[in-house]
C-alpha cells in the first residue's frame, strides 16, 4: 500500500489553490436526479468520493461525462444527465464506501416515487444514524420501510406533498435530503432548525438555478414552494472551507505563511477566529486569504458546533497545530461521539493530549518527532500530516485511502508550499 513520507521542519510559504468543496459536491451531484435535463457542475474536486458518487449515479442509469479539464488543472467539469432512470436502488457495495450515498434518498424519492438505499451503518467517528433523514421525508408524506439492511422510501400516489418538519437538532445531511425532496413536492414545506452550513446554501443556490423556489436561504428556517418541474443548469461548486482551514493550520504549525487562493472568509469565520486567537495573522485579500504565523502559537479553548460555530471537520487539524502551542488548550467535540481517533497517534509523535469524554486537553510541547502513523478517518489523517510537517525527522503516513477521499493532490499542493513530502508505494 502507498504511504506518504514527510520530512518535517520545513517552513511553508507560497500559494495553495483551494479546490471545490467535497461536501458541497456530494450534495450537488444527486440534484441531477431531479431533472431529465443535463446538469453541469464546474470546479468538482478530483477525489475518490466524487468518483464513487459518479459510479452510484451511473448505476441509476444517469450518464456522466467529464470535459474540458487538463490533468494539470485542479478540479473537473462533469455533466450528468438523468433523462431516464433505470434503477432506484443504491446498493450496499457503494453505500458502505461512502456514507454520503444516503443523499440520493430524497431526490430519488421525489423523482421516481420510490427509492431504496442500503443503510450506511456506523463509521469510524461514531454511530451516525439516519433517523432524521427518514422523519423529514415522512413529514412530506413518504412511507419508510427498513428491511434486510435497506431503507425503502415510498411516496403516496400522486407524489410527495409539502409538509412541516422541525429538526430536533442540527443535521447537515438530513437537511439536504429534506430540501432535495421538498423542492419537487406538491405545495409548501417548512423546515425549522435546518442546518445553515455554507454547503447547504450552495445546494439551495443550485436548486434555485434549476428553477426551485426556496426562501430563507442561509437561515435555519427554510420555506420551500414545490415546483412541478426542475430544469438543467450549469453551476460552480463552492470552495472547500475545510481544505482551506487545513492548509492554514499546516502553514501555521511550520511558522510559515500561505495565500489560500479561492478561500472565502464568510464561509469560515469560526476557523479564522480560532486561528487569530492562536496568534496567526489572517487577512482577506482579493481572491483568497493570506495567513502568516508570527511568533509562537497560542493555546485556544473552543467547542465544535453547527455552523456558524467551529466545524467538527476542523477539530483534528486545529488540535494538531495546538500540539505545538505555548500553553494548554481545551477542545470539546459536541457533534460526534468518537472523534478523537487521532489523539493516540499524535501522542505517539510526542504530543501531550489527554481526553476525557468529549473534552481533549492539549498541552503544547516544544517539538514533535516523526513516527509511523495511520488514521481511521479523513480529518484525523490530515491532522497527522499537519503534525508531520512540524515534526523532527521522518513521518510515514499509512492508509492513504482516507486522504484520497478528501484532499485533492495533497502532496503536490504541500510540495508547492515548500514541504518535503512524497508518496511512495510500499508496506
Largest interatomic CA distance in the chain:
66
Binds ligand UD1 (CB under 6 A): choice among 12, 26, 115, 362: 26
Q: Which of 123, 204, 249, 323 is catalytic?
A: 123
DSSP code, position 102: G
Query: What is the nearest approach in angstroms of ligand UD1 to the Cβ of residue 26?
Result: 5
Binds ligand UD1 (CB under 6 A): choice among 313, 333, 345, 404: 313
Query: What is the nearest approach in angstroms of ligand UD1 to the Cβ of residue 313?
Result: 5
The reply to whether 249 belongs to the active site is: no
Binds ligand UD1 (CB under 6 A): choice among 110, 117, 132, 251: 132
d(CA 11, CA 25): 32
* Residue among 174 and 272 whose Cβ is closer to ligand UD1: 174
Binds ligand UD1 (CB under 6 A): choice among 141, 173, 288, 364: 173
Do 289 and 260 form a contact (C-beta atoms < 8 A)? yes
The reply to whether omega before 272 is within 30° of 0 (cis) is no
d(CA 346, CA 370): 10
Query: What is the nearest approach in angstroms of ligand UD1 to the Cβ of residue 246?
Result: 13
Phi-psi region of 379 (alpha: psi -120 to 50; beta: other; left: phi over 0): alpha
For position 275 contacting ligand UD1 by CB under 6 A, the verdict is no
For ligand UD1 (CB under 6 A), the number of binding residues is 18
Do 182 and 190 form a contact (C-beta atoms < 8 A)? no
DSSP 134-189: HHHHHTTT-EEEEETTEEEEEPPTT--B--EEE-SS--HHHHHHHHHHHTTSBSEE
Query: In Å, how far are 200, 321, 388 from 222, measured between CA atoms?
Result: 11, 37, 43
**Interface stretch with ligand UD1, choices 131-139, 272-280, 366-374, 385-393 (CB under 6 A):** 131-139
Q: Which of 207, 295, 292, 210 is nearest to 251 (CA)?
A: 292
Q: Nine-digit cell at 264?
A: 472565502
For position 172 contacting ligand UD1 by CB under 6 A, the verdict is yes
For position 308 contacting ligand UD1 by CB under 6 A, the verdict is no
* Residue among 282 and 335 whose Cβ is closer to ligand UD1: 335
Q: Which residues from 352-381 bind ligand UD1, rule CB under 6 A?
A: none
Query: What is the nearest approach in angstroms of ligand UD1 to the Cβ of residue 382?
Result: 12
* Residue among 100 and 320 whose Cβ is closer to ligand UD1: 100
* Residue among 128 and 276 whose Cβ is closer to ligand UD1: 128
Task: Using CB under 6 A, list all residues that contact ligand UD1.
Answer: 23, 26, 100, 126, 128-133, 171-174, 312-313, 335-336
Catalytic residue ranges: 123
Amino acid at each position: 500500500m502507498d504511504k506518504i513520507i514527510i520530512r518535517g521542519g520545513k517552513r511553508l510559504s507560497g500559494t495553495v489553490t483551494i479546490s471545490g468543496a467535497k461536501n458541497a459536491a456530494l450534495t450537488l451531484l444527486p440534484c441531477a436526479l431531479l431533472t431529465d435535463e443535463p446538469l453541469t457542475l464546474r470546479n468538482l474536486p478530483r477525489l475518490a468520493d466524487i468518483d464513487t458518487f459518479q459510479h452510484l449515479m451511473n448505476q441509476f442509469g444517469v450518464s456522466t461525462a467529464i470535459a474540458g479539464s487538463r490533468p494539470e488543472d485542479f478540479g473537473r467539469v462533469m455533466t450528468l444527465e438523468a433523462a431516464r432512470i433505470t434503477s432506484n436502488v443504491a446498493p450496499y457495495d457503494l453505500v458502505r464506501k461512502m456514507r454520503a450515498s444516503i443523499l440520493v434518498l430524497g431526490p430519488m424519492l421525489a423523482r421516481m416515487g420510490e427509492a431504496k438505499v442500503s443503510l450506511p451503518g456506523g463509521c469510524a467517528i461514531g454511530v451516525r444514524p439516519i433517523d432524521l433523514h427518514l422523519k423529514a421525508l415522512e413529514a412530506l408524506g413518504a412511507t419508510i420501510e427498513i428491511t434486510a439492511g435497506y431503507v425503502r422510501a415510498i411516496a403516496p400516489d400522486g407524489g410527495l406533498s409539502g409538509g412541516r418538519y422541525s429538526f430536533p437538532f442540527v443535521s447537515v445531511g438530513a437537511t439536504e435530503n429534506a430540501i432535495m425532496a421538498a423542492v419537487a413536492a406538491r405545495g409548501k414545506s417548512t423546515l425549522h432548525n435546518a442546518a445553515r452550513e455554507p454547503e447547504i446554501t450552495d445546494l439551495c443556490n443550485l436548486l434555485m438555478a434549476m428553477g426551485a423556489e426556496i426562501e430563507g436561504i442561509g437561515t435555519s428556517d427554510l420555506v420551500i414552494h414545490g415546483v412541478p418541474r426542475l430544469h438543467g443548469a450549469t453551476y460552480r461548486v463552492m470552495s472547500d472551507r475545510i481544505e482551506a482551514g487545513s492548509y492554514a493550520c499546516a502553514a501555521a504549525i511550520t511558522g510559515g505563511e500561505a495565500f489560500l487562493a479561492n478561500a472565502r472568509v464568510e464561509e469560515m469565520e469560526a476557523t479564522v477566529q480560532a486561528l487569530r486567537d492562536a496568534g496567526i495573522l489572517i487577512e482577506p485579500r482579493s481572491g483568497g486569504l493570506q495567513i502568516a504565523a508570527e511568533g509562537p502559537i497560542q493555546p485556544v479553548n473552543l467547542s465544535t458546533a453547527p455552523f456558524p460555530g467551529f466545524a467538527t471537520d476542523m477539530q483534528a487539524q486545529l488540535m494538531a497545530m495546538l500540539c505545538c502551542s505555548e500553553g494548554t488548550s481545551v477542545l470539546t467535540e459536541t457533534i460526534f461521539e468518537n472523534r478523537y481517533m487521532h489523539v493516540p497517534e499524535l501522542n505517539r509523535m510526542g504530543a501531550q493530549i489527554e481526553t476525557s469524554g468529549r473534552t481533549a486537553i492539549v498541552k503544547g510541547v516544544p517539538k514533535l518527532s516523526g513516527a509511523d502513523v495511520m488514521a481511521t478517518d479523513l480529518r484525523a489523517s490530515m491532522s497527522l500530516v499537519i503534525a508531520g510537517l512540524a515534526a523532527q525527522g521522518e513521518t510515514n503516513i499509512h492508509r492513504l485511502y482516507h486522504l484520497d477521499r478528501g484532499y485533492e493532490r495533497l502532496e503536490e499542493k504541500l510540495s508547492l508550499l515548500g514541504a518535503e513530502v512524497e508518496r511512495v508505494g510500499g508496506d
